[in-house]
Amino acid sequence: MKKTNIFLTGFSGTGKSTVGRHLAKMLGWTFVDTDMCIEKEKDTSISNIFEELGEKEFRKIESAIIEKVCSSQYQVVATGGGLVISEKNRKLMGQNGIIVCLEARFNTLLTRLGGTSLNPQTKEVRPLLESSDLESKIIDLKSKRQSVYSMSDYTVHTDDLAINEVSTIIYRNWRHFQKKNILYSSWDVASLVNTPETIYPICVGWGILDTISEKINSMTNNSVVYLVTDSGANKYARRVQAELESARIRTHLFVMESGEKHKTLNTVSMIYDWLAELKAERSHIVMAIGGGVVGDLAGFVAATYLRGVKFIQVPTTLLAIMDSSIGGKTGVDLDRGKNLVGAFYQPEFVLSDVEALTTLPQRQLISGWAEALKHGLIKDEGLIDEFEKNVKNVLNLDKEITTELIKRSLNIKAKVVSSDEHELLGTRIMLNYGHTIGHAIETAGKYEKLLHGEAVSIGMMAAGYISNALGILTSSQFERQKGLLEMYGLPIKVEGINLTDVKNAMLLDKKTLDGSIRWVLLDKIGHSIVKNDVPEKLISEALGSVII
């Protein structure tokens, strides 16, 4: 049974009927009020039913009505305040939709039930609240029902919200539920990124690239897809294009130059012109197929063209799978630094085919493991244990082991992004372990000396040096990090980089607050902290330990 109804429950006066009507209009659904259904069927008022037959008989009638209502779909149903007391009713509603409890403070209920409400034109008769002591009646009756109200899927407090605001909150929750439990139920979902604004899946598997057309067709109709790729991933883009065209999805392809040095506003401008010439619309889709450079740049285009078009990530490098495709960070580089222009813009979904890694150049593949290992270093020592135990299998891209470890690693990032989408709470910054110095080294090397993962590996060694020198990371654990990076063939030092250029690039670090760099450090393997009072002398020593 598909869950295609929204049931509103809650105490009298929380606004179920008024909100229900407005929400039904938003969704284009049918509005149903169970009390009105009862009155229509029995051709009398609720008060008369209570008076003539009693509450017990009323509850039987109510249960029969909700059973009948649940035989239909796409309804917003305002239920009587006591309907959810019955376990049978709750189970039936739960099988056919989501249950949303509308809540309000005591004083709000007293005001509304005393004559004003979310709909001040009506004053409903509520038999169980007919009393000379309304305050005591509300407290007593609500306290008896509160435990079952709390079993709802969502609760929305209506006290200080207008009707449209309550309806919008429920609408957004419904869209999240719909995506998570209906649309994505048959997908190869490894993790979900769930932010206040949206929810989207990260699909990971071996040989799943050819499933992309069915995913697009399940989420939209008659769309046009604009594929953005580079010369390195063009073969995958052509494969995706053929798959989409065979599913009667119209496509256009833009192939940009490969490399970080082309992640610029100039390239963005060329794609803008391309989209404008093709008359791209907001309902169309921009799809990035390639590594992090393609994903970052195409995502920025999607975020800004027409003030936002739909976006899909199809990463084909390990680095992009593990890092840049997840979290909604998009952007381009300036001469003064990396990713200085950008936006947070979440994709509709991410599809990562692990089989694509078998065609990666060895250096690119090794570089990508830096981000995967980073997730374990900052959040999960058990994941580091698995990477240490399975070095040979991972480096040989064993199908099952590699896929499973990638899923486990990126699940860490998905959870962090979900909890702190815009880096406001101090959680997401942990993902920048190794990136302060790593990004600076990339900039100083003009994005040609090192691959991103290589620079992050060196940056993690510098951050580990600082952690150890401050006495928060033991020497044995610092050596363990070093050994882990070396096991996977990652560099721990770099030569030929100007130290002054690195220091200057660090001054533009996005993690700077009030002029001080917020350093992500380790206090043990599997746990990270942030410090913004690292002495300049120690920073210079750390740089000297990795730049030779």
- Integer CA distances (angstroms), 236 to 107, 209, 366, 418, 481, in order: 61, 9, 20, 29, 35
Catalytic residue among 371, 421, 442, 454: 371
Contacts of 54 (CB under 8 A, 6+ apart): none
Please say if 329 is a catalytic residue: yes
The single residue of 5, 194, 432, 468 carrying the catalytic annotation is: 432
Task: State yes or no: is 243 an active-site residue.
Answer: no
Catalytic residue from among 179, 338, 439, 480: 439
Distance of CA 452 to the CA centre of its chain: 24
Q: Of the residues 423, 524, 527, 541, which is catalytic?
A: 423
Sign of the four-CA dihedral 473, 476, 482, 485: negative
- The verdict on whether 284 is a catalytic residue reads no
Active-site choice (435, 480, 511, 518): 435
Crossing angle (nearest 10°) for helices 399-419 and 362-379:
50
- Cα–Cα dist 455/442, whole Å: 6
DSSP structural state of residue 520: E
d(CA 338, CA 345): 18
Catalytic option among 452, 480, 511, 518 = 452
The catalytic position among 221, 307, 495, 536 is 307
Collapse the DSSP code of 474 into the 3-class scheme (helix H, G, I; strand E, B; otherwise coil) and give the result: coil
> How, if at all, do strands 199-205 and 349-353 pair?
parallel
Give the whole-angstrom CA distance, residue 197 versus residue 190. Answer: 20
- Report DSSP letters for 91-140, one per residue: HHHHHHEEEEEEE--HHHHHHHHTT--SSTT-----GGG-SS-HHHHHHH
Phi, psi of 540 (to 5 degrees): -65, -40
Q: Is 537 a catalytic residue?
A: no
The helix (run of H) or strand (run of E) holding residue 337 is: strand 337-344
What residue type is assigned to position 90 of the chain?
R
Catalytic residue among 329, 379, 407, 518: 329
Burial (CB count <10 Å: 0-12, 13-18, 19+), residue 183: middle
Q: Are 367 and 319 in contact (CB under 8 A)?
A: yes
Nearest CA-CA partner of 94 in 186, 182, 7, 176: 7
Question: Is 96 tagged catalytic?
Answer: no
Active-site residue, selected from the candidate residues 428, 480, 510, 511: 428
Strands 349-353 and 337-344: unpaired
Q: Is 432 a catalytic residue?
A: yes
Cα→Cα distances 250→45, 225, 226, 238, 242, Å: 57, 6, 9, 13, 10
Quick one: CA torsion of 402, 403, 404, 409, rounded to 10 degrees?
Answer: 90
Catalytically active residues are: 307, 329, 371, 413, 423, 428, 432, 435, 439, 452
